[in-house]
Amino acid sequence: MGDAGIRLLAAAGLLALSSAAAGAAERKPWATLADCRYVPHSNNDGDSFHVRCGADAFVLRLYFVDAPETSLTYGERTREQAEHFDATLDDTLKAGARARAFVRDALRGPFVVVTRKASAPGRARDPRYYGMVQVGGKGLDEILVIEGLARAKGVAASVPGGEKSRAHAGRLQLLEDQARQQRKGLWAASPRAAK
């Protein structure tokens, strides 16, 4: 079995592990929140950030992806991310800062959030929910992976419109493989990325 097959099996295993957490979210209906705005905050990063959708303000945690951390607050997680990308801790933290800036810039205008408002644990004091973001007709999770600023990992859910979580995660894994081969984002720091 090749590297791509192993990564697809790993993605499937991660989905199985996250299914219990996503199970409660599956029971809630999807809500589409239009005209959402990015809210600057010191705790924002590439996969978790403050948003305002009308009168509703909360922290959004993206389904399906894990962007590099921006500090060593969660040192073990940052080390695990560095290992995944075959990068140094310093390069990983720099990529985390790039992911945060990329998301801030990508979300300068209004965007759409699709969420079940399933609680996402984290350090934020504000409510924190899992969700997906559509900007310019594209999923932010996909954009981050394509740019090499996130990996295909995290809590998954069946996607609105009928796409199964396994299919979506598999597609993200293929996009991650392409980003690795093209040495995009944090993959540029990896000596083994193009192999």
Handedness of CA 141, 25, 69, 113 (dihedral sign): positive
- Whether residue 70 has pLDDT greater than 50: yes
- Which is more confident, 66 or 20? 66
pLDDT digits (tens, 9 = 90+) for 112-137: 999 999 998 876 677 899 999 999 88
Q: How far apart are CA 126 and CA 43, in angstroms?
A: 11
Q: Which two tokens stand for residue 165?
A: 């979580």
Span 7-25, pLDDT tens digits = 544 444 444 434 444 444 4
Tell me how many degrees the CA angle 128-129-131 measures, rounded to the nearest 5. 140
Cβ neighbourhood burial of 184 (10 Å; 0-12, 13-18, 19+): middle
Half-sphere exposure of 22 (CA within 13 A, CB side): 22
Q: What are the boundaries of each domain within the chain?
A: 3-189
Q: What local confidence, expressed as pLDDT, does residue 148 receive?
A: 97
Q: Where does the pLDDT of residue 28 fall: very low under 50, low under 70, confident under 90, or very high at 90 and above?
A: confident
Q: What is the mean pLDDT of the chain?
A: 86
Instruction: Pick 3-189's CATH classification: 3.40.50.300, 3.20.20.70, 3.30.70.100, 2.40.50.90.
Output: 2.40.50.90
